[in-house]
Structure 1
Amino acid sequence: MSEMVFFNPGDAIASDHDFNAALRSAEIFHRKQKQHELMIVKEENGKTYAVFNATDAQTDASAQTNRYQIAKQMPKTTFH
């Protein structure tokens, strides 16, 4: 069973239809902003991957959030 999270799509740092492209964007941002834990997530019913700051995750669905499946988590200390 995959873990689901909720984010406001407007809070996305980056998005792409290709996981590797989203991962590259996340790595670039992560190198510059090491204090952030990032999540690469996939739309529940779509083909888009998005990068979010993990602290922007919502606890439940609302009119302003979309449901996403976690594809990869990047802790604060992944890159130096």
Structure 2
Amino acid sequence: MSRKIKLIWDFRGEAAAKTAEHHAIHLNEYLENEKRTLEKTGFEILNEMHAIAFVVVEEKDMILFRDALKPHRGEVYN
């Protein structure tokens, strides 16, 4: 079984939640244009000043997505 990697974009400040939500829309548009389906995409509000947008990819595809989408960070997804 292949590991999955969560690629993450961090947004901070009063508009973090709205910005993360909007960024997730663009991530889904990219996936649609590239005709790719992934296990999970979305956004999470961590607190009132910090939110993230994310995609979960197979470890073997991580470099491709990292280079194309320029996430801020990544972590192993459970």
TM-score by length of 1: 0.43
More helix by share: 2
Q: Which structure exhibits the higher relative contact order, with contacts defined as CA atoms closer than 8 Å and separated by 6 or more residues?
A: 2
In the superposition, the TM-score normalised over structure 2's length comes to: 0.44
Larger strand proportion, structure 1 or 2? 2
